[in-house]
């Protein structure tokens, strides 16, 4: 498969969120955040499992109260994907989830308050080998930085992050990652580019409050794509005002598009036009639904006619080109048989599953 990127990844320190490595030479991880009420343990566990099923490497859960921390402990005991507890300000909550078990704390040390409180949290995190994510957001910049810069800017985001980083440095705590999020793509990209040269820790990429499913996916793909193509970024979260499961799927689609991570079926499909010899859109949607469980990488081309069909179908591992009266099936670059429109989806699914698990049949 053609791979246009010969990128050099920024060298970062490798940290561990539970068993999952972030940074260094580790694969770029894809994460999301639950949007259930954390107090509702069963509902939250179900959502985390749904996220894990589509490939989430890490899941973040907001823990706004001490009661939510109790629920977090129960949730953590019921799942096996690493969990990040999202905490704002309250060090009691941080200490509690550290006691109950947590894989990463998302807390900004500069927001914890008194020095003894910061020290208590950092020392417990250090004892338990729990990393921290510093998360700077354009919407919640410190007042003095808002005053200094007049409005959120890339420089303001970086200055805010460096303040939090400085606190951790002084406490000899180095296992952290940093995010610098804004909803404006160019500001976010500029901020990450600046910080990437100033610290060795991994960077968590995201375009915050990106929007609904379509616009958010597009914004995230552009912003994250720019950075990832430059070798910047160790873990990503696509923020969508949509089901978090979609965030994971879009995240993997971004990484797959850049050949940074292979997972599941990479569908190459023509947009279809009046030349199509079968309903391309219907077949593609059907295949996407049927093949969601597949995690092994495989390129599959679905092409409506012979104009561009044979070229794409040959280049993929499995391909179909629409023809009259039959459609031509390809396997590893060679035509291997014919099928009709009625049996096309079943036949493709069978070929795909056989290719992945040679003993399996549907
Ligand atoms: Fe149209 Fe054929 Fe191109 Fe598909 S491959 S868009 S059907 S011309």
pLDDT tens-digit readout, 100-132: 999 999 999 988 888 999 999 999 999 999 999
Determine which helix (DSSP H) or strand (DSSP E) holds 331, and give its type and residue range: strand 327-331
Closest CA to 72 of 100, 91, 49: 100
Does the structure's ipTM exceed the value 0.95?
yes
**Predicted TM-score of the model (pTM):** 0.89
CA 26/CA 14 separation, integer angstroms: 8
Helices 213-229, 185-196: crossing angle, 10 deg rounding? 30
- The rounded Å distance from CA 278 to ligand 1 centre is 10
pLDDT digits 0-9 by tens, 65-107: 999 999 999 999 999 999 999 999 899 999 999 999 999 999 9
Residues 6+ apart with CB under 8 A from 90: 66
pLDDT at 89: 87
Q: pLDDT averaged over the chain?
A: 94
- Which domains are delineated in the chain? 15-257 (3.20.20.20), 265-356 (3.30.413.10)
From 276, 306, 327, give the residue whose CB has the most ligand 1 atoms within 8 Å, as the site to mutate: 276
Section 257-269 average pLDDT: 90
Residue nearest to atom 1 of ligand 1 (CA): 273
pLDDT at 210: 76
CA 318/CA 212 separation, integer angstroms: 33
Q: What percent of the chain has pLDDT over 90?
A: 87
Alpha carbon of 258 to those of 8, 101, 198, 251: distances in Å? 13, 35, 25, 11
- Asked if residue 188 has its Cβ within 6 Å of ligand 1, the reply is no
- Asked if residue 273 has its Cβ within 6 Å of ligand 1, the reply is yes
- The rounded Å distance from CA 115 to ligand 1 centre is 65
Question: Rounded to 5 degrees, what are φ and ψ at 359?
Answer: -85, -20
Distance of CA 246 to the CA centre of its chain: 10
- The rounded Å distance from CA 289 to ligand 1 centre is 22
Detail the residues annotated as belonging to a binding site for [4Fe-4S] cluster: 270, 273, 305, 312
């Amino acid at each position: 498969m053609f791979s246009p990127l010969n990128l050099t990844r920024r060298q970062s320190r490798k940290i561990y969120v539970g068993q999952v490595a972030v940074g260094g030479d580790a694969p770029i991880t894809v994460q999301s955040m639950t949007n259930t009420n954390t107090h509702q343990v069963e509902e939250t566990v179900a959502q985390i499992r749904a996220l894990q099923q589509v490939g989430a490497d890490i899941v973040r859960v907001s823990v706004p109260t001490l009661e939510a921390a109790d629920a977090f402990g129960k949730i953590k005991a019921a799942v096996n994907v690493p969990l990040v507890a999202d905490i704002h300000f309250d060090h009691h909550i941080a200490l509690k989830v550290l006691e109950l078990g947590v894989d990463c704390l998302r807390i900004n040390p500069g927001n914890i308050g008194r020095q003894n409180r910061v020290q208590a949290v950092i020392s417990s995190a250090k004892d338990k080998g729990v990393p921290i994510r510093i998360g700077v957001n354009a919407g919640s910049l410190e007042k003095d930085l808002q005053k200094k810069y007049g409005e959120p800017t890339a420089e303001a985001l970086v200055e805010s992050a460096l303040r939090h980083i400085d606190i951790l440095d002084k406490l000899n705590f180095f296992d952290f990652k940093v995010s610098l999020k804004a909803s404006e793509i160019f500001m976010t990209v500029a901020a990450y580019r600046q910080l990437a040269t100033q610290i060795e820790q991994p960077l968590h990429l995201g375009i915050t409050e990106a929007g609904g499913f379509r616009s958010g996916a597009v914004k995230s793909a552009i912003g994250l794509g720019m950075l990832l193509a430059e070798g910047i970024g160790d873990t990503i979260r696509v923020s969508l005002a949509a089901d978090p499961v979609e965030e994971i799927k879009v995240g993997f689609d971004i990484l797959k598009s850049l050949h940074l991570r292979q997972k599941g079926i990479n569908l190459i499909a023509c947009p279809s036009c009046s030349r199509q010899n079968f309903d391309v859109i219907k077949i593609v949607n059907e295949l996407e639904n049927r093949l969601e469980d597949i995690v092994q990488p495989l390129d599959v081309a679905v092409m409506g006619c012979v104009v561009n069909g044979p070229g794409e179908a040959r280049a993929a591992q499995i391909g179909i080109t629409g023809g009259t009266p039959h459609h031509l099936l390809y396997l590893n670059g060679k035509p291997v048989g014919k099928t009709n429109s009625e049996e096309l989806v079943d036949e493709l699914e069978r070929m795909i599953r056989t290719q992945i698990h040679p003993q399996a049949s549907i």
